[in-house]
Amino acid sequence: MSTLKPISVCVSMLTIAPAALAQAPQFGQPIEPADIAAWDISIAPDGAGLPPGRGTAIEGEAIYAAKCQACHGEKGTNPGVAFAGALVGGMGTLAPDKTPIKTVGSFWPYATTLFDYISRAMPFQESKSLTADELYAVSAYILNLNGIVGSNDVIDAQSLPKVRMPNRDGFIPFPRNPK
């Protein structure tokens, strides 16, 4: 008698399971490459993924004043918002005997990271709202404020990866796939 009960449960499961599977929610669906491309916005240190466009620091100053200055302050040195942080300054503060001030100019290893970050997250209240030309211009302006590029230097997909950041060699490489 006790062995018949488990057998009847198994028979019931076998008869119910196909009906339950037919009514199961259909999670996921094939995604089109164009749909993926809209989300694939990563910019590599070598510039892979940078869009067409261009800008100079002179062009970026007005965009910065309109869209960035309220949080990062005039010239990027005096944040008006506590969590925004300064973008400029801190050169030489990464020494062991100093209090580090991490800014774009003192800390960031690649200029393409600046473009990528602005592209994804800025302006804070309207992230992803800047055009490629505006992104290049604002990046150029911030790099110029840090003394890294000239005010008339054209920043685009070819020149941005070539910008040598002051702290590029300040990091220890971490092997992701040690063998």
Pair 75, 154: CB distance under 8 Å: no
Q: What are phi and psi of 81, to 5 degrees?
A: -115, 130
Q: What are phi and psi of 110, to 5 degrees?
A: -130, 135
Q: What is the pLDDT of residues 106-144, one digit of tens each?
A: 999 999 999 999 999 999 999 999 999 999 999 999 999
Nearest alpha carbon to residue 68 among 135, 1, 5: 135
Q: What is the model's pTM?
A: 0.78
Q: If you ran DSSP here, which 8-state letter would residue 54 be given?
A: E
Interval 134-152: pLDDT, tens: 999 999 999 999 999 999 9
